[in-house]
Amino acid sequence: MAVEMTTRNRLPREGAGEQLSREQIAATALALVDREGLEALSMRRLAQEMGTGTMTLYGYVRDKDDLLDAVIDAAAAESPAWGEGDGPWRDRLTSLMRELRRGLERHPALIQLRLRRPIMTPGALRGTEAGLQVLVAAGLDPVEASRAFRTLFLYTFGFAAFVTEGGREEHRAQVRAAFAVLPPEDYPLLTSSVEELADVLGGDEQFEFGLARVLDGIEARLPAA
């Protein structure tokens, strides 16, 4: 009985088999961040969420920076098997970039973190290796292939990073408000097609358009087939 109580007190609230671990802490933190945003993640709040004392977390995580690294790794581990299958180089890179976009948009709050802490784990680099192989098979040398892949990556990352917050309608309202104060004589194009432009900035269509342009630019560098 005494043993049972001690045991129950030592474990997180969820019950029997659960052990506190770095992975479990990261998973809980990731869920919290998805639910309430990055600014909701604090050591104190997370500990409370897990039913432990704040300082207990420091047994599994060096400091908050280390926690954030663990969260990013946890999110990266969800990615699908990147770059499977074969087919024309262009189709393969298109789906690789769509998968990258989806992976980034699954946890929008993490995008700003990934900018400062690029993930270079083997898992995350599988996509890079796959992309390089496709480009080399298409005829580029390794250095140019990695420059080309980097271009695709930066476009996709930039796209995902700019989309994360606020709904579509809120965004349109912002654009409309900003354009309304522009003097038409100095801004003839922006003021002449406000409604069309407000729609252009995000969305699948913009993503696919830009991706296709970058691929066209890469295609022009391939040796003639």
- Gap between the Cα atoms of 130 and 153, Å rounded: 13
Residue span binding a second copy (CB under 8 A) among the ranges 11-19, 41-49, 69-77, 209-217: 209-217
Binding residue for a second copy (CB under 8 A) from 98, 151, 172, 222?
151
Comparison of 38 and 197: residue with beta carbon closer to DNA: 38
Residue 38 in contact with a second copy, rule: CB under 8 A: no
Residue 9 in contact with DNA, rule: CB under 7 A: yes
Binding residue for a second copy (CB under 8 A) from 15, 122, 167, 223?
122
Residue 168 in contact with DNA, rule: CB under 7 A: no
Binding residue for a second copy (CB under 8 A) from 158, 168, 170, 173?
158
Residue 24 in contact with DNA, rule: CB under 7 A: no
Residue 55 in contact with DNA, rule: CB under 7 A: yes
